[in-house]
Amino acid sequence: MADYYTLLTNAGIAYETACKAAGTPIKLTQISVGDGGGAVYNPAATATALKREVWRGPLNALFQDEKNPSWLLAEVTIPPDVGGWYVREAGLWTDTGILYAIVKYPESFKPVLATSGSGKEFYIRSIFETSNASLVTLLIDDTVVKATRAWVMSYLAEELGKLDGKQSVRVAATGNVVLNGAQQIDGVAVIAGDRVLLPSQTLAKDNGLWIVANGDWVRATDANTSAKVTPGLTVMVEEGTANGDSLWHLTTNGPITLGTTALTFKMLAGRTGIAAGTYKSLTVDEYGRATAGANPETLAGFGIKDSYTKAEVEALIAKASALPVGSIVAFPVDAPPPGFLELDNSVKSSATYPDLSAYLGGKFNKGDEGVGNFRLPEARGEFLRGWDHGRGVDAGREMGSSQGDDIKAHSHSALFANGAVGSGTVLGIVNSSAGDRGGSGAAYAGSGGGQSYISSSGGSETRPRNIAVMWCIKAWNASVNQGSIDVAALVKEVSRLGSAVPVGAVMAFPTGIVPPGFLELDGSVQSTATYPDLATYLGTKFNKGDEGAGNFRLPDSRGEFLRGWDHERGADAGRVIGSTQKGTVTTFDSNPNPNLTVEVIQASVAAAQADVFIATDYPGVARTYTTSGVVTSSILADGGVVRPRNLAVMWCIKAWNAPINQGNIDIAALADEVRNASGRYLRTRIFKANEIYQSGPGTKKIKYRLQGGGGAGGGAVSTANTQLSAGCGGSAGAYAEGWLTQGFDGQQITLGKGGAGVIANIGLNGGTTSFAGIAAPGGYGGGFSLNVVPPLQLGRSPNSELATGGSMINANGQGGGGVTGPTLSLCTSGEGGLSNFGPGGNPSGGASRDGEGSVNAGAGGGGALAKPSCPNNLKGGNGGDGIVIIEEWT
């Protein structure tokens, strides 16, 4: 037997047996100590009390041993204020006063401060074995029991070890580690006693927290049992090249059996291998940590597939630009805008202007340009003339070739008062001064009979009246560095303006409709606040001094030709850009009979299609008639101004680009256009019948165009042999355009029918075209006239109502043409109103007939015409049906 031991007494065994039979717990409450009667002895199981008890108190603790469940451990602390005796024996007592177990204790003195000079707590632990350990219960009086410091520390360590938050480790391994001896882990030399996290062992059951030892490692005390290794366990790592300053956690879910269950640890926070910095593209793990970063410079690098590449965008800009490379545009000031070059016959670098070089080739080269260069055309001081291109009006010309000035062959004749051959008084004479009025001329007596021929001397050229402008050519579109342009500024400008026609560009339009963004060059005064871009561009160049504060004046090009600014070439020297120039005055052969009235002579001028000069522009120019040296009459109208053959257009200037409120532009519509125009075009769908709209695959937004039905032309009634009857043209339907980004699927498309012509009556109105809350009303039918004696005058039909709901454009349809008829033979009915898809029905002329219907969507029908002695009532032409066109975009 051991020297010191604990044994159950016979009384204790009997107590235990009785408790087991009754199913009641064994209740131990107290422990007593004794001095053995002054000597050490061997206790016997027959004992019912200690030999000599010196102190008794409540048990502090009673619990099973972790490794031996049948062992019970009893603990007590003797307070420091009792003692002065030896402890040689101890006893455990039940709640009924039975000595359950007796202890042989090593002889130890328990001092007390009062008599021994010092005091201390006295701690006793008794271990005994029982077959019914699970039945043993400790009854403790909380007001009396006192725990030892060692017990408390052990208890706290055990309980803290069960928490998820663990004491930090020095390093975390990056791979499998041999669990023996000191070694290098993640760049750190670990030594005995260091705590280490092993998250990557070959056998995952060996993962966990370990203590380094010179021999075999052991698990850390706070993670060495299943109760202490729980899901969500977290631990900080202090050092290490890869894993230093990181936080790890256990992701394995319970239940966990330490040494059997595979354990998975993951880094919750810490280094991921990505350097500190700013990145445009990141790779993020399941914890929201950036594990990789990059700064791609291409759309492909960002993984964007629904877009155009830089090359594709540049190609689209070059192709879709409102002004392609090679376009010639007039500017009324001497500052070519970005993207343009003056046509001054200069030599340019093909590398600097590759687009224009490819377009012009070497067409205008003279042979001295040098390698890698090309030459621009020369337009300074020149008018531009349409290329004949097989028409026969200006035959034999090559595109881009120059042509000198010329005057059409003609002659002038005059009669002498006395009719004598070779002598007499000159009846007609042109009086003029030199300069821009064409020089001077006179009529001289000839020798061939009663006529003389008038010869005339003029200025240095034959020319029409004109305005000096700077002719410029579009040199590039794409946002690449061509010329000296600031590429970043151009990109910003293109994205901001979305227009290739710069402010200040002068352009011709063949109808009387001024498009959005333009103003007619009519010499009018405009507000600087309303048109700030144009005001900045023109400055006060065309002001006359009466514009008032905050205003500026436009050039006046009505009735004028445009001529290239000389710009020191010498072809039209002395001209200031934007200045006007009068035409060269000429005369023609009119009957100089003084008995003819001015009105008859003016009619002769009109028949000759001469430009009658304005007397105030050409003072002193007149044809005078004299008899016997006395002036009998002076007729200003008998003469004209030289002009080339021409086409009448409306000259307009680009007034604004930017999406701010300049003029009457719809700002919301322009903003929508800028916002919605991004994306990729998919397809265009044209609807000519009513149906429910469903978008095609991939559609995210749509651009719509709605055209209302055109109104029918007016009818005509039968006529007598001196009567006429004619109808007006019907007006075009209204037009709406814009974008929709949602709510378009399932919407009804309703197409407005064109108005029908009615016999001898007003034409019917066109129908309204509608879709998704947008409406384009139909055009009005044209009126008709009763049978009347000419001249017949009937005004135009009115414009249609304004469209509603368009996010970009809400426009009226153009009214139909009116009826004119100065004579029976020259009467015509009205033409149909022009729609966005083409002209309306043609006016009727010649033989009597019904009005002509329009083949263009939404255009008005032409009016009917009943000529004299027409026996039938006639109907106007039908208006064009409405249409809906939808572009689908991603």
Query: Of all residues in the chain, what percent are helix, strand and coil, respectively (each to 5)?
Result: 10, 30, 60
Dihedral, CA atoms, 263, 269, 272, 276, nearest 10 degrees?
-170
Of 129-133, 160-164, 186-190, 802-806, which gets the smallest average pLDDT? Answer: 129-133
Selection from 190-204, 279-293, 783-797, 798-812 with the highest mean pLDDT:
190-204
Q: Which residues contact 300 (CB under 8 A, 6 or more apart)?
A: none
Which helix H or strand E contains 104, and what residues bound it?
strand 99-110
Per-residue confidence (pLDDT) for residue 627, from 0 to 100: 59
The pLDDT of residue 112 is: 84
**Which pLDDT tens digit goes with each residue over 427-466?**
333 333 333 333 333 333 333 333 333 444 455 677 787 8
pLDDT digits over 620-629, tens only? 555 555 556 6
Res. 310 pLDDT band, cuts 50 70 90: low
Top pLDDT among 217 and 114 is at: 217
Predicted TM-score (pTM) of the model is 0.39
Q: Determine contact, residues 505/653, Cβ cutoff 8 Å.
A: yes
Distances (CA, A) of 580 to 337, 556, 666: 23, 9, 35
Distance, in Å, from the CA atom of 533 to the CA atom of 493, rounded to the nearest integer, reads 13
What distances in angstroms separate CA 825 from CA 205, 629, 717, 820, 864, one per listed residue?
112, 46, 17, 11, 15
- Report CA 484 to chain centroid distance, whole Å: 28
Give the bridge partners for 341, in sequence order: 473
Mean pLDDT on 543-552: 93
* DSSP reduced 3-state for 114: helix
| 880 and 837 Cβ atoms separated by less than 8 Å | yes
Contact between residue 874 and residue 866 where contact means Cβ atoms under 8 Å apart:
yes
CA end-to-end span of the chain, whole Å? 94
Give the model confidence (pLDDT) of 703-739 as tens digits: 999 999 999 999 999 988 888 888 999 999 999 999 9
C-alpha distances in Å from residue 92, one per residue of 135, 140, 823: 16, 13, 145
Mean of the per-residue pLDDT values for the chain?
Answer: 78
Cβ 536 vs Cβ 504: under 8 Å? no
Interstrand relation of 525-527 and 551-553 (parallel, antiparallel or unpaired): antiparallel
How do 195-198 and 208-211 pair as beta strands? Answer: antiparallel
